[in-house]
Structure 1
Amino acid sequence: MYKISEAAELIGVEKVDIFEKMITHKAILDPNIKKIEGVTYFEERGIAILKTLFFGTQSGEEKLTEEGAETIAPEKRVVKVRSKFERERDILYDKILILKHELVNLDDELSMKDDMLLSYQKKLIEDLDAISKLQTALSKKV
């Protein structure tokens, strides 16, 4: 589990950006956040979701660092105003992306469980063969 500051450092973003994502994507992130003694911690899955939220739909142009923004002259800075529709659309695209990743993870887990079931069945058949051999040996002695 990671504190917000650790998560920000791990992902490479500011803590403020993480707080913003926690507000805008509350429904997705809340199940993966734990509060212990007033400190907010992200689980591994929460970190993966944050990475998807930050880097899944952003282009290289949209990811300006603080230093890069300061070096651009004020008159050349372009302020991009996004409508409510665009923000909601981006949030929905992020949710779709996260759900796709979760589906892939669930498919992997299912295939792993299928393999485990097959190996269990093989072991069970081997055990049943051993039991039947022991039963036939016991029945011959009696």
Structure 2
Amino acid sequence: MIEFEFDELFNGLDRSKKHVRESAKAGVTAAVYSLLDESRNEAPLDKGVLRTTAGTNIEVEGDTVTGEVFYSATETTKSGERVNYAVILHEMGEFKNPTTPGTRPKWLERPLKRDAKKYNRMIASAIKKGLK
């Protein structure tokens, strides 16, 4: 009779899965902070509110790691409505008179698209490093 105990195998697989998840979180975190830095350099700068309200959020849910960069500069309109003017500025066509040269709309979307491969490499590298 030949017997094989699966418990150790499954425990090892669980540990590997945990390491991959932790490593992926580290890679996503690095990529998100890189995107935050890049986007801040292109974000409009008047009083600095927009850049100082930027932030990040990293979540792990099951086998999914999600990272986001956000800008949340809100103002209250004359009618009392709260508006996130970061979204309005981001989606503008072009700034006619930017207060700071080099700033422009799509400051978050532009570096995300431009550097997507770099961010993927950062995540893959972190996972590879975590599995060693």
With the shorter chain as reference, the TM-score category is 0.3 to 0.5
> TM-score, normalised on structure 1?
0.30
- Structure number with the higher helix fraction is 1
Q: Which has the higher strand share?
A: 2
TM-score (norm 2): 0.32
Q: Answer 1 or 2: higher relative contact order, Cα 8 Å, separation at least 6.
A: 2
